[in-house]
Amino acid sequence: MSGLRHAAYSFPALVRHALTGHRRWPPALRLAEPKSAYDAVIIGGGGHGLATAYFLARRHGMRNIAVLDKGAIGHGNSGRNTQVVRSDYFHRSSSRFFERSLQLYEGLSRELNYNLMLSQRGKINLAHSPHDLEVLRRATNAIRMNGVDAELLSVADLGRLEPALNLRCRYPIEGGSVQWRGGIARHDAVVWAFARAASALGVDLVQDCEVTGFTLECGRVTGVETNRGRIATPRVCLAVAGHSSVLARRAGLALPLASMALQAMVTEPVKPLLHHVLISPAIHVYLSQSDRGEVVIGGGADVYNSYAQRGGLPILEANAQAAVELFPVLGRLRVMRQWAGIVDISPDTSPIMGLTPVAGLYISAGWGTGGYKAIPAGGETMAWTIAHDRAHELIVAFGLGRFASGALVDEGAASGVAH
């Protein structure tokens, strides 16, 4: 049971606060000033950094921890994504890891005492040619062999499940596959829930604290340099998403990552129209409908490297065209917002997790376009790894060493489109 279930959040207390104008409403979390030393420092207050800190404190009893963020917690990709969660991966190592993450998501609202609005509405992949269908059949078989739920859908099934879907679009739909346990979970809630729970366990959450370098002695990390002074620590975890290679270089590490903008947009809200998460690798778009009624649309990343958090106009246009191709009814809606985040993509599109050649420096990077679904298992396994100074068995395959050995975990086709 989370330590958050205390009197301040009880029903009588809620009523009292409502009647007294919330004057003595306790802050949900404690923002801290940085101390001069910690047992562990996590760089990056996104979902991965916060979850790692939470599990370190909760499961491994390490309480003298800081999460440092150069801005505000949750303002990176963890607060900018399209919220898709799923575990239908092809390779066994990915499947085990992402399935663990989905299982954790299934119990996370209870563990963190925070409604994450997990909606397992089903995540559907569309096939637009006989070859697409063959690929889906092979993937579905592999996923089932991995012990994860997946099944094939006929055109008639799709027509029944999504009545507004244009089955006779430019590349007519030939069938599909579904993971029923896939869906979406509210991204801000995931960040705030982990932040609140970590804070309640004594973790220092430090905003506006940019890590600018590392202090190293005899190949071991001894601290970090920040815009607010030096912090001594024997353990540092890098969880800074699109800025991983920039920061790792300051510790002498070259990471095989390309950083580029990934964008998404939402339409004005409408009544329920789209009932599942829908993905079309061929037309290159994915869509879902938020609880507020907005249609959330995403597609591929920009095709050039950049740290400008905007997203290019050609991709925006392509995403909108593709969405209307699948759901012509969307052509009558206005786009309300568009935004982007910087994602770091590895050569095999799988994450890079675990130890590094610098002793005491751990890494959680390469999450690319799909690391939101991995936040619970990413935090759980990185915490174990830091506590034991050894890679957790679920992440051994994702070590940096695979780029030297050649044992890549190629999941480029896992989604077909970024998400």
Residues that bind ligand FAD (CB under 6 A): 43-49, 68-71, 75-78, 80-84, 210-211, 239-241, 243, 247, 262-264, 298, 340-341, 343, 367, 369-373, 419
Using only C-alpha atoms, the chain has a radius of gyration, in whole angstroms, of 22
Contact 344, 358 (CB under 8 A): no
Q: How far is the CB of 31 from ligand FAD (least distance, A)?
A: 14
Residue number with CB closer to ligand FAD (63 or 228): 228
Comparing CA positions, the residue from 15, 60, 20 lying closest to residue 40 is: 60
Q: Which residue is nearest to ligand FAD (CB)?
A: 46
**Paired tokens of 118:** 């997990």
Q: How far is the CB of 226 from ligand FAD (least distance, A)?
A: 7
Q: How far is the CB of 267 from ligand FAD (least distance, A)?
A: 15
Q: What are phi and psi of 6, to 5 degrees?
A: -105, 180
Contact 368, 346 (CB under 8 A): yes
Residue number with CB closer to ligand FAD (169 or 262): 262
Residue number with CB closer to ligand FAD (360 or 379): 379
- For residue 204, how far is the Cα from the chain centroid? 22
3-state secondary structure 211-247: EEEEEEECCEEEEEEECCEEEECCCEEECCHHHHHHH
Q: How far is the CB of 282 from ligand FAD (least distance, A)?
A: 19
DSSP, collapsed to helix, strand or coil, labels residue 175 as: strand
Residue number with CB closer to ligand FAD (251 or 397): 251
Q: How far is the CB of 85 from ligand FAD (least distance, A)?
A: 7
Q: How far is the CB of 161 from ligand FAD (least distance, A)?
A: 20
Contact 375, 76 (CB under 8 A): no
Residue number with CB closer to ligand FAD (45 or 281): 45
Residue number with CB closer to ligand FAD (158 or 343): 343
User: What letter represents residue 393's amino acid?
Assistant: E
